[in-house]
Chains A and B, each alone.
Chain A
Amino acid sequence: MPAWRTFRNELRAALTDRGVVIILLGGSILYALFYPLPYQAQVATGLPVVVVDQDASASSRELIRRVAATEQIRVIGVITEPREAEAMVRAMRAAGVVQIPADFERDILRQEPVQVGAFGNAAFMVLYSQVVTGMANAVQSFSADIVRQRQLEEGRAELFADTLAEPLATDLHELFNPDGGYANYVVPAVLILILQQTFLIGIGMMGAGRREQGLGTATGLGDLLATGAAYLVLLALLLAFYLLVVYEVFGFPRYGRVVEVYWLLLPFFLAVIFLGQALGQLFRSRETAMQTMMLLSLPAIFLAGFAWPAEIMPTPLVWLGQLIPSTPGIDGFVRVYQMGASLEEVRPAQLQLWMLAGAYLVLAWGIARFRPHAAVS
């Protein structure tokens, strides 16, 4: 059969198979719109915090006012008993506690250093860092004002007073993800994983379905390439939907160029397609493809090392992760589109993707050729 006809037949078969099209198109689109929803707020603000005020002075009330004014924190109560406050954190009614010690105002007036306790629920990273950052900012501005006031009372210039409040300061410049949004961090990586998983399922189902019906699967190299091209077209269209629609709907920042994303992801798509063709010959039934990929999504995203730097994983797992197309795919995509890296700067990831594509093509071809009846489950 000429390659063009093989391509057209595969495309038609995939699009008319209800089970497959639900996953390939329905799944890819639905998940991409469904996944970002919990993170839509981007930054957790107004987290409940309880204040333990053991001083009950004008100064402590001023500090509480400043804590309440931070965007991270909503003060839900001012009490005097520390134990009660911790119990509220344990019961998840408060995310943190500000503890103002007794003699707070007296020590400030005596010019003795004072410490304010910043307690945060560190069982959850976002809760802890947001709450403690809010408290630190409030205390820092409160403290700087005291220094400023002392210096002015001693008759020094305001400029000099600022210096003394903070002799060496740090200016923060966020590179990329300007508002520190959680969705901006997670979703780009998840989008790449979604494309991989839905297409591994869809292509796997097609392969398993053919075997179940006793139809021959593509065995020649040319057939594998021609059928693969059908999925490549779908992947290219879905990527356009992600980059144009999904990014627009959720307002994700981007610093890269669409053309470069396509160049980068071309070998990623090929690797996914050929891996799908290889796996499709190993599944005994269509549903197995779906079940397997549902179970592997979570490990795949953590093996990709985007959530936490890969350096800390044991070496065999790092290698295992490098065999999954999404690992270099996510890494390269995030660098190019979210961080504006040039293709030159992501060359290692790109090279790895081409190697994976080649290896999985050989694997798919090898299985088709030498083990025509292979199936594990």
Chain B
Amino acid sequence: MRLVLGREWRRFCATPRLWLLVVLVPVLLPTVLVAVFLERAPTDLPVAVLDYDQSHLSRQISRTLDATPGISVVRFPADLQAAGAAVRRGEVFAVVALPPDLHRDVLRGQAPRVQLFYNRQMLTAGNVVMREVRTAIATVGAGIGIRQGVFPPVRTENHPLFNPGLDFARFLALPLIATLLHILIVVVTIDVTGRELREGTAGGWLNAADRRLGPALLGKLLPYFAWFSLAGAGVLALSVQLLGLEVRGSALLWLGGWVVFTAACMGLGVFLTGLFGNLRMATSVASVIISPAFAYSGMTFPTTAMEGFASFWSTVLPLGHYLNLQAGQLAMGSPVSASLIHLYWLIPFIGLPLLVTRRWRQLLADPVHWGAR
């Protein structure tokens, strides 16, 4: 196995592509993502106010809206048509129309209604604007109610658990970094194994391992496993620091989970190279599995709401299990037992190459399989 290790080290040193993939990318891409999400919750999103009332009350509403964190008021003299165009052009995310006689109707107790048109295509920003505008108007309304001697008998008090600042973007950064690293690990695993077949050097590889498959694969992959376990854990831990997140559960379980996940990614990679015996094909199929994996992970849209195949696929893919383990230990302080289940789901992936050992032996021993592109 020592021969395989030495051989791999020489190959690595002589391949700029591997330097880029293994050393540069794990630093560069997470840096970009951390930078994207470093800013706190979105600063003021523009909202147009059409004031058809021009009263004391309508101006009070405008001021309250402008003072609301998260939105800023763009005064808009024109009509609803022009305001609609401003939404389509992306200049504002919503239009608040204050109807004529608003003030008079409130005083007469005729329950006037403020009209809010909001851009729901931009779901995240649109919902923030909608929530803020509704709250601001309700606050003004409650003030009027109290002056008239009425208040709502029952109200809700919102408690955002684990994320008091409702800083969702920051919570997305770490799952995305882990997702990038997971793509990288699978890509590199397939590259270092599949490239030997493509370039017809597989014979030398097998010879260096005394023609035994186990030492050949282990000797080649252990250095990458050690590196990605350590570097990945380092990048994740550093990102947590930079983003100002705190570890609410067990850091050991979280980073231990990362190490197991690294092994699972490599298991998947070795399995696919073995199955297809072709670098290009294995990479193509890996892409189909891992590129959309984030959408299936439940980090953006809950897995409980997925249906049919999507529900099945989200349970099978390793990424979702790691990300749920990470979210549990990092953000929520989940009990160990809840996260261990996800860890168990990862372990079979490490053993996945065992299914294709016979095929791997053929691939390495018989030059017929070499050189396919």
Interface residues of A (CB under 8 A from B): 19, 22-23, 27, 30-31, 34-35, 37-41, 43-48, 63, 86-87, 89-92, 95-96, 108, 111, 113-129, 132, 135-136, 139-140, 142-144, 146-147, 150, 160, 162-178, 180, 182, 184-186, 209, 212, 284-288, 290-291, 294-295, 297-299, 302-303, 306-309, 311-314, 317, 331, 334-335, 338-342, 345-346, 376-377
Looking at B116-124, B218-226, B235-243, the stretch in contact with chain A turns out to be B116-124
Nearest A residue to B89, CB-CB: A345
Q: Is B304 positioned at the interface, with any CB of A under 8 Å from its CB?
A: yes
Cβ 8 A contact of B29, one of A116, A144, A299:
A299
> In the assembled complex, which residues on chain A have CB atoms less than 8 Å from the CB atom of B324?
92
Given A114-B155, A162-B111, residue A129 in contact with residue B127 (CB < 8 A): yes
Q: Across the interface, do A174 and B127 meet the contact criterion of CB distance under 8 Å?
A: no
Closest A residue to B107 by CB, please name it: A167
Binary CB contact string for chain B from 67 to 110 against chain A (1 if under 8 A, 0 otherwise): 00000000000000000110111100000000000000010011
B296 within 8 A of A: yes
Q: Which of A46, A135, A164 has the most C-beta atoms of chain B within 10 angstroms of its own C-beta?
A: A164
Q: Are A339 and B119 closer than 8 Å at their CB atoms?
A: yes
Known: A90-B338, A162-B111, A299-B32. A38 touches B310 (CB 8 A): yes
Q: Is B327 an interface residue (CB 8 A)?
A: yes
Q: Using Cβ atoms and an 8 Å threshold, which residues of chain A touch B156?
A: 115-118, 132, 135-136, 139-140
Q: Are A146 and B153 in contact (CB under 8 A)?
A: yes
Query: In the complex the two chains form, what is the Cα distance from A37 to B311 in whole Å?
Result: 9
- Determine how close the nearest CB of chain A comes to the CB of B146; give it in whole angstroms: 9
13 inter-chain pairs at a CB distance below 8 angstroms, sorted by A residue, are A47-B302, A91-B338, A119-B159, A121-B332, A123-B331, A124-B327, A125-B171, A142-B154, A163-B111, A168-B137, A169-B141, A308-B169, A338-B121
Q: Does B292 contact A (CB under 8 A)?
A: yes
Q: Which residue of B lies closest to A107 (CB)?
A: B153
> What is the bound-complex CA distance between A268 and B109, given in angstroms?
55
B154 interface neighbour in A146, A150, A166, A334, Cβ under 8 Å:
A146
CB distance from A287 to the nearest CB of B (A): 5
In this complex, which of A135, A285, A288 has the most chain B Cβ atoms within 10 angstroms of its Cβ? A285
Give the most central of A38, A144, A184, A185: most B CB within 10 Å: A38
Q: CA–CA, A242 to B328, complex, Å? A: 37
Within B259-292, the residues touching A (CB, 8 Å) are 279-281, 283-284, 287-288, 290-292
Task: Give 12 new A-B contacts, CB below 8 A, not counting A44-B305, A167-B106, A314-B38.
Answer: A119-B159, A143-B154, A166-B111, A171-B115, A173-B116, A176-B119, A176-B121, A177-B121, A184-B121, A294-B291, A308-B169, A317-B32
Set of chain B residues within 8 Å of A90, measured between Cβ atoms: 328, 332-335, 338
In whole angstroms, what is the CA distance A95 to B160 when docked? 11
**Which residues of the other chain, B, contact A39 by a CB distance below 8 angstroms?**
295, 301
Contact of A175 among B114, B119, B131 (CB under 8 A): B119
Interface assignment of B52: CB less than 8 Å from any CB of chain A? no
| Complex CA–CA separation, A278 to B123 (angstroms) | 35
Closest to B187 in A: A291
Taken together as a complex, chains A and B put the C-alpha atoms of A129 and B166 apart, in Å, by 10
| Residue pair B145, A164 in contact (C-beta under 8 Å) | yes
A317 to B112 alpha-carbon distance, docked (Å): 45
Q: Is the CB of B153 within 8 A of A177?
A: no
Give the interface size bracket for B toward A.
35 or more
Binds A, one of B2-10, B175-183, B206-214, B350-358: B175-183
Bound together, the chains give a CA A176 to CA B290 distance in angstroms of 31
Interface: B134 (CB within 8 A): yes
Contact partner of B183 (CB less than 8 A), chosen from A23, A125, A163, A294, is: A294
> Known contacts A143-B155, A172-B116, A312-B42; is A164 also within 8 Å of B148 by CB?
yes
Min Cβ gap A312→B in Å is: 4
Interface string of B119-158 (1 = CB under 8 A from A): 1111111010011011001101110110010111111111
Q: In whole angstroms, how far apart are the Cα atoms of A21 and B160 in the complex?
A: 48
Chain B residues within an 8 Å CB radius of A37: 296, 306, 308-310, 313
What chain A residues lie within 8 Å of B42 (beta carbons)?
Answer: 308-309, 311-312
- A290 pairs with B287, CB closer than 8 A: yes
Q: Is the CB of B338 within 8 A of A92?
A: yes
Segment touching A, from B14-22, B250-258, B360-368: B14-22
Chain B nearest CB: distance from A257 CB in Å? 14
A342 to chain B, nearest CB (A): 8
A303 close to B36 (CB less than 8 A): yes
Assuming the contacts A113-B151, A116-B157, A345-B85, asked whether A168 and B140 have C-beta atoms less than 8 A apart, the reply is yes
Contact in complex: A339, B180 (CB < 8 Å) = no
**Nearest chain A residue, comparing its CB with the CB of B165:** A122
CA distance A150 to B16 in the complex (A): 78
A337 closest partner in B (C-beta)? B121
Q: Is the CB of A167 within 8 A of B43?
A: no
CA distance A203 to B296 in the complex (A): 29
The answer for the CA separation of A92 and B321 in the assembled complex, in Å, is: 13
- Kindly list chain A residues whose C-beta atoms are within 8 Å of the C-beta of B246: none
Whether the pair A117, B36 counts as a contact (CB closer than 8 A) is no
Judged by a CB distance under 8 angstroms, whether B66 is at the interface is no
Which of B122, B134, B184 makes the CB contact (< 8 A) with A185?
A: B122
Q: Are A313 and B123 in contact (CB under 8 A)?
A: no
Most buried by B among A22, A144, A178, A339: A339
Whether B153 contacts A313 by the Cβ 8 Å rule is no
Does B322 sit at the interface, judged by CB under 8 A?
A: no
Q: Report the bound CA distance from A186 to B294 in whole Å.
A: 13
Closest to B147 in A: A167
Contacts A44-B304, A168-B114, A309-B42; A376 near B16 (Cβ below 8 A): yes
A108 contacts across to B, CB distance below 8 A: 153-154
User: In the assembled complex, how far is the CB of residue B358 from the closest CB belonging to chain A, in whole angstroms?
Assistant: 25
Partner of B39, one of A43, A44, A312: A312
